[in-house]
Chain A
Amino acid sequence: METLSYRHATARRASGTKNIALVGVVASCNLEVLVERVLPDTECEVAISTAAEGFGKVWEAVVADFVERRSPGGLRLSINDGGARPDTVSLRLAQAVRTIEEDAS
C-alpha cells in the first residue's frame, strides 16, 4: 500500500452546509472518497491510500487539476483506492464535492 497526501491553498470555500459526504466504493478500478468539512476555508487536503504503487506523479496532477476546477476550500478528502484510472478519480472527486455542496436534507 502507498499513502500520498496533497495540501493546496484554495480560492474560495466549498458552498453548502453539510459536513460530511461519502461517494464511491472500494472495488477493482473504483475508489471511495470521504469528504469532510474540517479545514480552514482557504485550504484543502487530499489524502490517498492506494494498492497501485508508483503513480504519485499522476495523483499529483489529478489532484492539482481538481483543486483548480472545483476550489474545494475547507474540505479534507480521504481516498481508499482500488486501482481506479485517473478519469474515474476525477469524476469521483467532483462527485464528492458536488455531494457535500448539496443542501443538507
Chain B
Amino acid sequence: MSAAPAIIARDARSWYEASARQRIDALLDASTFVEFIGPEQRETSPHLALFDLPEQFDDGMVVGHGTLDGNPVFVAAQEGRFMGGAFGEVHGAKLTGLLRAARDTKSIPVLILFDTGGVRLQEANAGELAIAEIMRAVLEARTAGTPVVGLIGGRAGCYGGGALVAGCCSALAISEQGRLAVSGPEVIETNRGVEEFDSKDRALVWRTMGGKHRRLIGAVERFVDDTVADFRAAAVELIATAPAFGADVLAAEQARLEQRIAQFGTCIDAVDVWKAEGVPDPEAIPAMPAQPFIALADTIRRTRHDAR
C-alpha cells in the first residue's frame, strides 16, 4: 500500500493557485481573521442581474482584520476567478470602507491582495468611481500614518484601475506570475495593433508586465517566490519599513519617474531596459529562478526605493 500523498505545508502553498480566502487564511496568523460584510450578508452587485449574469455572495472582494506576526492588520483580497477580480460598485465600496476604517486608526496597516483585470465593464461608471474613491482612501490612510502594502501574485495579475491603486500604495511585493500594468496585453493590441504588442506572445507579455521587470525598473519594492511564506515575509518587512508620506515624498517620486523616462524612454523592449540598467547577461533574466534573481535585483542600484 502506498503512502497517502503528502499535504503541501501551509507555508509552501502556491499563492497563484490559492483562492482569495485561502490566501488570507494562509497569510495571517492562524484563525485570527474576522470578516466584515461576509458572504452570509449577501451584499451582491446590484448591476449584474441586468445583464443576466450570476452574482457572487462576496462580490469577489473579501475584507476584514486579523493579526500578522502578532500585530493587528486590515486585509482585503480579490477573487481573480470571479469576473477576473474586476472592480464593481460593491467590490470597490468594501475596499474603500476598509481603507477609511484603517485611516481612522492612524496606525493599523492595510494589506491589499490584488488579483484583478481592472474595472468591471458591466458596471463601468460605478467601477471607475470606485477606483477614484479607493485611490483617495489609500492616500488619506497613508497621510494619516497607516501603511498600505500591496501583494501581487494572482491569476488575473493587477491591471487597469487595480494598477492605479497599486501605484498609490506605500510599497508593493510581486511574484513572477504577478503582472502589473494599466493596459493589458489585449487592450494594447486592440488599440495599437499587433505590430505594437502581440498579446499572444507570452514571453513578451511576461518580460514587459511580469514581476521581474517591475522589480528591475523599480515599480515594486520586493520580488518574491510564489509561496505563501515568501509573501508573508515580504508583507511583514514592507509594513515595518513603509516610509512616511507627504508632499516631499510625492515630489521625490515625481523626480524618480522623470529620471526613469529620461533614462529608458527610447528602449523598445524590456531587455533593452535591463541592458541600459547594467544588468549582466540581461537575456538570461526571464529564465532565472527566483532566488538568484532576488540576489541579482538587490545589487541593482535603481531598485533602492527612496520615493513612492
Contacts and interface: CB of A to CB of B under 8 A. Distances in A.
Interface in B46-70: 49, 52-58
A8 to B, nearest CB: 22
B49 A22 contact: no
B184 interface: no
Instruction: Identify whether the interface residues of B are mostly helix, strand, loop, or mixed.
Output: loop
A32 B173 CA distance: 30
A15 B56 CA distance: 27
Given A27-B81, A105-B31, A22 B39 contact: yes
Given A22-B39, A27-B81, A81 B57 contact: no
Contacts of A30: 81
Given A26-B83, A51-B53, 15 more contacts: A1-B52, A1-B54, A20-B38, A20-B39, A22-B21, A22-B57, A25-B19, A25-B56, A25-B81, A27-B81, A27-B82, A32-B56, A32-B57, A34-B57, A49-B54
Interface in A25-73: 25-27, 30, 32, 34, 36, 49-51
B81 A20 contact: no
Nearest to A28: B81
Given A26-B56, A49-B55, A51-B53, A34 B40 contact: yes
B54 A81 contact: yes
Instruction: Identify whether the interface residues of A are mostly helix, strand, loop, or mixed.
Output: strand
A17 to B, nearest CB: 14
A80 B53 contact: no
B54 A34 contact: no
A82 B57 CA distance: 13
B57 A1 contact: no
A82 B54 contact: yes
B79 interface: yes
Interface of B: 19, 21, 30-31, 38-40, 49, 52-58, 79, 81-83
B40 A20 contact: yes
Contacts of A95: none
B57 A25 contact: no
Most buried by B among A1, A26, A49: A26
A34 B236 CA distance: 32
B39 A25 contact: no
Contacts of B21: 22
Nearest to A53: B52
8 closest A-B pairs by CB? A26-B56, A27-B81, A25-B81, A80-B54, A51-B54, A22-B39, A105-B31, A26-B82
B32 to A, nearest CB: 11
A50 B40 contact: no
17 contacts: A1-B49, A1-B54, A20-B38, A20-B39, A22-B39, A25-B19, A25-B56, A25-B82, A26-B82, A26-B83, A27-B82, A30-B81, A34-B57, A50-B54, A51-B53, A105-B30, A105-B31
Contacts of A5: none
A49 B52 CA distance: 11
B39 A26 contact: no
A24 to B, nearest CB: 9
A78 B54 CA distance: 13
Contacts of B82: 25-27
A78 B53 contact: no
Contacts of B58: 22
Contacts of A22: 21, 39, 57-58
A25 B79 contact: yes
A51 B52 contact: yes
